[in-house]
Each structure stands twice: as C-alpha cells, then as structure tokens.
Structure 1
Amino acid sequence: MASTGLWNIAREQPDLTAVVDPDGREVTYAELAAAADRYGRGFQAMGLSPGDSVVLLLPNGIDLVSVYFGAFQTGLYVVMANWHLVGAEVAYLVEDSGAKAFIAHERFADTAADALSRTGVAGFAVGDVPGFSPLSSLGADETGRPDVRTAGSPMLYTSGTTGRPKGVRRPLTGADPDVVPPAASWFFGIFGIGPFDGHVHICGSPLYHTAVLNFVANSVQLGHTAVLMDRWRPEEMLRLIEKYRVTHSHMVPTQFHRLLELPEDVRSRYDVSSLRCMIHGAAPCPQEVKRRMLDWWGPVVTEYYAATEGGGTAISAQEWLAKPGSVGRAWPGSVVAVLDESGEPVPAGTPGLVYMRMGESTFEYHKDADKTRAARVGNLFTLGDIGYLDEDGYLYLCDRKADLIISGGVNIYPAEIENELAVHPKVADVAVFGVPNDDWGEEIKAVVRPAAGVSPGPELTAELLAFAAGRLAKFKLPRSVDYAEELPRDPNGKLYKRKLRDPYWVGRERAI
C-alpha cells in the first residue's frame, strides 16, 4: 500500500505530480520535497529553531508551497500575510508573531520593502525587492534533510474586523512531519475524500486564507495533485477542471455566483464530470444559488461551517436538499451549542450565539488574553455568529451578531434580506446593514452592485423593492437602496460590511 506524506511519496513515487503551478509548470513530489528540504536547512542555518515564526507575502504558486513545507518540517509557525495589506500592516504581523524571516514576492515589492524597513528581520524575495536577498540563496549551500525535523503549524490571523488582527497560535505537537497529521486524513474523510484515488484538487482562492492553505497542504500530503490558480477567473476554472480531471476543491459562494453568470453556451462547453466533492464555506450561500449549482454539477456540492480556532459542521448535498439553508450537524469530535447572553443553552429553533469546540484542543489569541476570555464560555468559544439548532441537531445561521439590525426593538438579520435580493437577475452582489434612524434606532439600507449591463437608478430600486416585498415581511424591507461598482470583499468572498456601514454612523453610537 502506497505511503502518504510528502516526503514518503517523494521517495516511493518521485515522478508523481504534486503541484501544477499557475504558469502550467508541473512539479513532481521529488522536486517539491527537495525544495522544501533546501529551505528547511536554510532556516536552520539562519539559527531558526522549533517554535520560531516566519512570515510569507507570496502569491499562489510553487514557491509558496515549497517554503511552507520547508518551514513546516522544521517546527516553525508560518504566518500567511494577506497581500492586500499595506506595509505597516504586514510589519505588524512580523513583529506581533516574533518572526525571524520574511519571504516576499516582487509583485508586492513596495509593500514588502516598506514592511522590512519597519522590522529589520532577514528578508528573502522571489524576484527583485530592495533590501531582500534572493529566495534562491536560502539554503543554497545546504544539502539533505534538515537536522531537526518536527511538525510546525500555520499561525493564522483573524481578519481584525473589530480591531487589529489576532494570531491564533496552537501548541506544537512534536509530531514527525513525515507522518500525515491525523486531523488532515480525518477532515478530508468527513467529505469522503481518501488518499490517492486519482484525486486532483484545484485551488482558486488565495493561500493566505486558513481553509485554502489547509486544503492544498492536506491534498499534497494525501497524494492528490494540487492545481493552483493565481487569479481566479470562472471560465479558466472550468478549463482547468476539464484539463486536469479535477475531483475536489474549496470554494466560496461568490465564485458560484460568477460561474452562474457565464453564458449557458460557455458553461456547457466544459466537461465537469470528474467532480466528486466541491466544498464551500466562509460565507453564506443563497439557497437559490446553491440549487442552481446542484442542478449543474450534480450532488457534489458540500457545505461546512468552521473556524480557524477549531470545530465545525458539515452537510452533504443530499442532506441539504432535505434541510435547505442548514450548514449541517457537528462533525465527529466537534461540539456545537447555541447559548443565550448568560451562557445558557436555548431550546431548539431559538436563535442565540453559536459556540463550538473541537475535541479537547485549545488555542489562544496571541498576546490577547482578554479576547481569548471574551470568546469563551467554559471550554466553548464563539465567533459571534447568531444561529439556531433544529430538533435534529442541524445548525442554521442567521447572521453575525455585529451585523444584527435592531429597528424599533425588533431583531432583523441582514443575511436573510441579502439572500433574497441576491437571486434577482439584475443583482450581481448585495450588502444589507443598519443605518441611523431617530425614531426606530436603525433602518435597513441595501447597497447593490448591478449585474452587467444594468443601469442603477429609481426604476431598478422600485423593481428590487417590489421583488423583495413578495418574499419578505414588510418590516424586513430596505428603506433605501444605494449602488456601487464593487462591494468590499476579499478574494475569499468575505464582505467587509463595516466599510460600507461606518460612514453612516460617524458621530453616532450603535447599540451593538
């Protein structure tokens, strides 16, 4: 039976393709393992030891994957920097994590150079970045496996929507990096994905996202070829699915929406029959969008709800059709509970704060004991999402607590309104939030990105509100609709609603 694990596969099946770079270059397991060994030896030659940190500011590609595995096998924490950040924000990640090396790409040269000038750590770059040594020089004089090998870990930072980002730092396990982490096999097993078996993973989102990085790393460890996209484009994804006979991926609802916007003749041009499990999470998916994807791709669309901090739920396509709108039941080893403001469980069907736990695992927000305590009730933690469990234990999410609209003392969930407006054919994207109202406290505003070729204005507003009136109670209808060319989403689909809402609240204080 074939062994799993990057270095075991490199030894037993050296010519198996591990990664397809965005430029089309196919990298074997032997080549990937050799690069990871070189970088691992390079880190150790610099004096880095288990428990130290490195920061990566790199686009999707073989360089990122190679450096990640080099750091992972030498017991380092790997901090993935969002390449939309500015220099000061990247410098904060370097300093807060205590990083001793910073690896960047010339595409982000200005940001990287600015960050380096604020920190003074050792910098290595793909391409030419002032103040950085070439990445090719890292470990260039080193050969063989690193002297000290122990499993490292990603150190992911929360998005910082309510303040500066906080790192989620878990204790290192001391495990052998040649052995696939049991959690990796277990997690993929939730979705029926096993080792080898002809699996091919396609990655269309930036690897600085927690789930995206985990899916690629786990795929490589389990003998699956990982096809990397640099900038996601819907038709290009379909082309790659057909070319490489892709079986699984991690996606977000925004990508579903963009795929469905393609003309029917374009969508039908590509063979997607190889797909087995297309997993989505990270943001709410309108029910009608998901139904259309199921009609197109078949019962391969699987959903989950989880957190960097640990724990979650999952639901298969078949289950979702029976429980539309649910994000599933707690996966094995996880606990999901819905509690009231005093930390007590609420009855089935009653909304409250969603709390989770994964086994007996623990975490802390790096250098922020107050935030760690505030997120916990006992050994459970919350992300601030509001939801409810039905009588069968299936979780339904209502919204983020921070996004809840309280109008005249009535709780209104923007996500419900967004899900209805999002299915109108003239709406490409939508955000709903509360703005000040002197009588009611808050009133509902919608901001819409019109579909291609659709002109914004009073006629469209009237049409959208009439459409919503047939699907929502009167108290849930927006009082006004604004229009924007783009909504502030990150490449993983997360909507930064505060950027839209905050200008309306200048000089005012929200109740939430």
Structure 2
Amino acid sequence: MRPHLWDPWATARTAPGRTAVVADDETCTFAELTGRADALADALRARGVPDGAVLSTDLPTGPRFFALALAALRHGYGLFPLAPELRALPVGPSLLTDTGAVLHVTTGSPAADGPALPCPAVGDDELIAGAAGPAAGPAAAVPPAAGHLVFATSGTTGLPQAVVRTRPARPYKGVAVTARYAAGLDRGPHLMANPTYHLGTLGPALYALQAGSAVVVQRTWSTTAFAELADRYAADSVMLSPDRLTDLVGAGHAPRRRFRVVFHGGAACPPGVKRAAIGLFGPVLHEYYGTSKSVLTEITTPEWLARPGSVGRPLPGIRVEVTRDGRPLPPGEAGEIGIRLRAADRDPSEAPVHATGDVGFLDADGYLFVLGRAGTPEELRAARLEHEVRLLPGVTDAVVVLGGAAPVCFVEHGADPAAPDPVPAVEASARGLGLASPRVVLAAPGSLPRTPSGKIRRAGLVGLSGAGAAAGGGRG
C-alpha cells in the first residue's frame, strides 16, 4: 500500500462528527478540533504574533492542547510544550528564553505561582475571546511554511535543555498515512497512555490524529484502567514506555481486543520485558529510537526476535554512524552514535553530523544497538555493563552510576521469582569490562525515580547508593 497525505482538516470535511480527542470528561470532534485550531491561529495573528514565532504552553494533553498544536503546525508557529513540573523549576524560565518563546498559552487565568516567565502569558479561551476585532494584518495569500515543535530533553543526567527543531520550508501538508502505523479513517483510536510532552510519547499521538484516528488520553495511569479504556474505545494503537510495559507484564493486564500495533521507545527495554510483552500483546510491538530532534530508527517484532536488543535500522533519508575519535568503526565495535538527518530536518547552519550523546554499535546488516550514554572510556564501559545487566533473567532495568571509589549498579529485579540472583553475574560482567567491583543495589521493578517519559532519572539516584534498604536491598 502506497502512503497518501492526510490531515485533520481533510477528516473534518469527510467526517466532521468523528471523535477526535477524548481525555477524561473532555471530548471533541474533528470539526470542533480544527475549528478551534483555526480560531487560535486567527487570534494569534490578531495579537500581532509574527510568522514563525515560538509559543510555549502547559495546557494538559487533551482537546485544547491538540488544537493549539495543530494551529501551530498548519499556521506556521513553533510550539514548545512546557510540562507544569518544568515550569515550576528555576530552570523553567530559561528554557523559554532559550527557545525565544514570545507568548505562553495556558488554561484559565495565567498562574501567578512559580518563577516569572520571560514572556506574556494568556489563557487559551482568553486569547480567542480577545480576537473579536480585525486581525493585525491580512492573511497571507501564500500559505506559510509549516510550524514546528520544540522539545526539552528528559533531564536524566541533570537539568533539562531545550532542543529547537528545524522549521520545515514548505506549507503544512499533514502526514503520509502508512498501513504499518495502524492509523486512519478505517482504524480505531490511538491510546496515549503516557500523556507527556516528550517527542517519543507525543509523536505517535500526533501522527494518529493527523492521519484520521481519534486519540484517547489516559491521564491517570493504572493497568486496569488501561485495559478498560482500550476495550471501551476499541483502540488499534498505543504507545507505551518501558516502565509502562513492565507494569502491564507484571500485572498480566491486556485488553480483550488485540492492538494492531504497540509502539514503545524513549528508554532501553530489557529483552526479558519485551519478550513477555510480545507474549501478552502478540507480535505487534514496534520499537523506535530517536532524539529530541527526530525519530531515527524503527524495528518490528519479527526483526527484533531475530536480533534481540536492537532498536532497528535508520528510517529512509537518515544515516547512522558509529565512530571513536572521529574514526568510523566496523560492525560490532561500540562507539559514539552520530546521525545525518534528512535535509528537510536539518538547519544549514548545523554541523552535518549530530552527536546523540549515546553509544552503541551497528551489526553487519546495519541494525543499531544502543548501550547507553557515555563520554569517557570509563563511561563507555559502564554503558556496556548496563547493557549486559539488562540481558540477565528477571532484570527489568539497570543503571550504573560512576563517581566514587567503585561504581554503583542499580538493578530493578524480582518480577520473576524463579530468576537467579543477578549480583554474581553483575560482578563478573564488571570484571570482564575492566571496571572495579561494583556495589549492587537491588530495587523492585519500577521503583527507581523516573522522568515523565519513563527513563530512570540518574540525578535522582544520588544518595540512594548508601541506602540499600530504601531502594529495595543492597549488596557489594
């Protein structure tokens, strides 16, 4: 099946009463969604917000948020979703400064608590109501270049940073609808079980919505509510971060109706968890790997079963390079992962190769294996140790923290009571990699601090290494 272009305005013309977004007791049709998106764009022009300007927002994921996102994409604005917890931090205002945001769009009256923002704030309803007069200028005869989204990094190792993506040069055209993503007018909703602003969680939902599928947002997580929502709305696709997969595997909760595709990404998924998830949902898992700039690779379930641990091959037009000291490495040898983006996704002023900050290796067939974050040779060995620990039976995640006399290896373990004690294997792997004997801190699955996108927050582990009981047990 050849892909075809589609967008929410086409759905609104074809099926105006079709449900577009559901979030708790909020719901809207495609006609209502696109109508609000156009009203927001008219209001922004009436306010004098220039073409290409960046807006920020902390609207909760739901109808209002997606209307603003579509307004930005179609009418040529940048949009920086700023999670409320980030806005409340001292770093919040600096993120807006880094993106050049000129207006913050929020819900109701702008909140006065938290650090002052470097730009005006306005409620989304207030913004529309204030556009009753004539616009600041006539609408452009030629459609503007498409808008773009701006994201913040997860902040797993420190403070989050804003990543400005390149604005497309052409007008908004929607998305290329392809069968493998299970979205479109003939498909059921996409269940957004991680209602965060991270590219990995927001991207699949925005794709489904633009392709003509409804988006059902699960704002409060529980495994039973997940299965109930999926069955109630007959969802065909879902995005799950590895921690959500771990929860579902542990609870054994799956909808009665099978998904057509289960997307997952955003963090490393231990092979044991993924195999159990395949057993729970069927061979429909579709993993992806990327950065805040772009999705880079994808892998299907059959491909992954042939290459456990891989995150797939690069998408068309993207090149992945693995180097050390600027030298390309042969298949199987670990080094720094760099990417060459498509020309449309790259600013001409940027370097041709973007450093991801991750390390890994390519196999002989071009499939990428990501080991983790690294910089120094010792950090590379620690990343390899994390990778090897995740392969152990019963392990649901692992992180190695350096900085003391010996590394500390946090291991989430215990989902399978029959799995062997991982500590001897961790110690043996560390010796084989030339690392000092680590202190091993065992933790219950899902108990380590995580970012909203599901990654273990390394900065939150400071102080836990000396408190084994608090983490679930410790040995060293």
TM-score (ref. length: structure 2):
0.83
Mean CA deviation greater in 356-365 or 316-325: 356-365
CA contact (8 A) 1:7 1:33 kept: yes
1:272 paired residue number: 257
CA contact (8 A) 2:150 2:162 kept: no
- Give, in whole Å, the separation in 2 of the partners of 1:389 and 1:62: 41
SS at match of 1:38: helix
CA contact (8 A) 2:270 2:397 kept: no
- Give, in whole Å, the separation in 2 of the partners of 1:497 and 1:169: 25
Give, in angstroms, the shift of residue 207 of structure 1.
Answer: 3.8
1:351 paired residue number: 334
1:6-21 matched pairs, under 5 angstroms: 6-21=8-23
- Give, in whole Å, the separation in 1 of the partners of 2:132 and 2:194: 31
- Give, in whole Å, the separation in 2 of the partners of 1:152 and 1:384: 27
Give, in angstroms, the shift of residue 79 of structure 1.
Answer: 0.6
- Give, in whole Å, the separation in 2 of the partners of 1:114 and 1:338: 42
CA contact (8 A) 1:38 1:142 kept: no
CA contact (8 A) 1:404 1:413 kept: no
- Give, in whole Å, the separation in 1 of the partners of 2:179 and 2:337: 21
Question: In the alignment, which of 132, 144, 147 is matched to residue 139 of structure 2?
Answer: 147
Give, in angstroms, the shift of residue 48 of structure 1.
Answer: 0.9
1:471-486 matched pairs, under 5 angstroms: 472=429, 474-475=431-432, 478-481=438-441, 486=447
Structure 1 residues 63 and 390: alpha-carbon distance in aligned structure 2, compared to 1, 3 A threshold: same
Give, in angstroms, the shift of residue 307 of structure 1.
Answer: 2.0
1:419 paired residue number: 390
SS at match of 1:492: coil
1:422-437 matched pairs, under 5 angstroms: 424=394, 430-437=398-405
Give, in angstroms, the shift of residue 500 of structure 1.
Answer: 2.1
CA contact (8 A) 1:53 1:78 kept: yes
CA contact (8 A) 2:321 2:337 kept: yes
Superimposed CA distance per residue, residues 286-314 of structure 1 (whole angstroms, 9 cap, x where no aligned partner) = 00100001111111001111222235111
CA contact (8 A) 1:155 1:169 kept: yes
CA RMSD of aligned residues (A): 3.5
Question: In the alignment, which of 220, 228, 241 is matched to residue 231 of structure 1?
Answer: 220
Structure 1 residues 463 and 214: alpha-carbon distance in aligned structure 2, compared to 1, 3 A threshold: closer
CA contact (8 A) 1:309 1:363 kept: no
CA contact (8 A) 2:54 2:100 kept: yes
- Give, in whole Å, the separation in 2 of the partners of 1:361 and 1:162: 30
Give, in angstroms, the shift of residue 388 of structure 1.
Answer: 0.9
Structure 1 residues 138 and 118: alpha-carbon distance in aligned structure 2, compared to 1, 3 A threshold: same
SS at match of 2:91: helix
2:343 paired residue number: 360
- Give, in whole Å, the separation in 1 of the partners of 2:212 and 2:153: 30
- Give, in whole Å, the separation in 2 of the partners of 1:363 and 1:138: 36
Structure 1 residues 491 and 159: alpha-carbon distance in aligned structure 2, compared to 1, 3 A threshold: closer
Give, in angstroms, the shift of residue 212 of structure 1.
Answer: 2.5
1:57-456 matched pairs, under 5 angstroms: 57-85=58-86, 86-105=88-107, 113-115=113-115, 117-124=116-123, 134=126, 137=129, 139=131, 147-148=139-140, 149-150=143-144, 151-159=146-154, 161=157, 165-175=161-171, 177=172, 179-180=173-174, 184-185=175-176, 189=178, 191-193=180-182, 195-262=184-251, 264=252, 267=253, 270-273=255-258, 275-310=259-294, 312-341=296-325, 343-363=326-346, 376=351, 379-402=352-375, 405=378, 413-420=384-391, 424=394, 430-437=398-405, 443-447=406-410
- Give, in whole Å, the separation in 1 of the partners of 2:293 and 2:262: 23
CA contact (8 A) 1:49 1:75 kept: no
CA contact (8 A) 2:41 2:71 kept: yes
- Give, in whole Å, the separation in 2 of the partners of 1:92 and 1:83: 14
Structure 1 residues 257 and 163: alpha-carbon distance in aligned structure 2, compared to 1, 3 A threshold: closer
SS at match of 2:215: strand
- Give, in whole Å, the separation in 2 of the partners of 1:3 and 1:480: 51
- Give, in whole Å, the separation in 2 of the partners of 1:311 and 1:60: 21
Structure 1: tracts of 5 or more residues without a match: 127-133, 438-442, 455-461, 505-512
- Give, in whole Å, the separation in 1 of the partners of 2:200 and 2:421: 38
Structure 1 residues 478 and 138: alpha-carbon distance in aligned structure 2, compared to 1, 3 A threshold: farther
CA contact (8 A) 1:311 1:356 kept: no
CA contact (8 A) 1:446 1:478 kept: yes
2:56 paired residue number: 55
- Give, in whole Å, the separation in 1 of the partners of 2:134 and 2:222: 39
| Counterpart residue type for residue 166 of structure 2 | R
Give, in angstroms, the shift of residue 195 of structure 1.
Answer: 3.4
| Counterpart residue type for residue 495 of structure 1 | I
Give, in angstroms, the shift of residue 413 of structure 1.
Answer: 2.2
SS at match of 2:327: coil
| Counterpart residue type for residue 344 of structure 1 | R
CA contact (8 A) 2:147 2:167 kept: no
Structure 1 residues 392 and 81: alpha-carbon distance in aligned structure 2, compared to 1, 3 A threshold: same
Structure 1 residues 103 and 141: alpha-carbon distance in aligned structure 2, compared to 1, 3 A threshold: same
Give, in angstroms, the shift of residue 84 of structure 1.
Answer: 1.7
Structure 1 residues 398 and 404: alpha-carbon distance in aligned structure 2, compared to 1, 3 A threshold: farther
Question: In the alignment, which of 455, 460, 463 is matched to residue 499 of structure 1?
Answer: 460
1:465 paired residue number: 423
Structure 2: tracts of 5 or more residues without a match: 466-476
Paired-residue identity, %: 27
Structure 1 residues 210 and 167: alpha-carbon distance in aligned structure 2, compared to 1, 3 A threshold: same
- Give, in whole Å, the separation in 1 of the partners of 2:23 and 2:105: 18
1:508 paired residue number: none
| Counterpart residue type for residue 163 of structure 2 | G
CA contact (8 A) 1:22 1:60 kept: no
Structure 1 residues 171 and 12: alpha-carbon distance in aligned structure 2, compared to 1, 3 A threshold: same
Give, in angstroms, the shift of residue 74 of structure 1.
Answer: 2.1
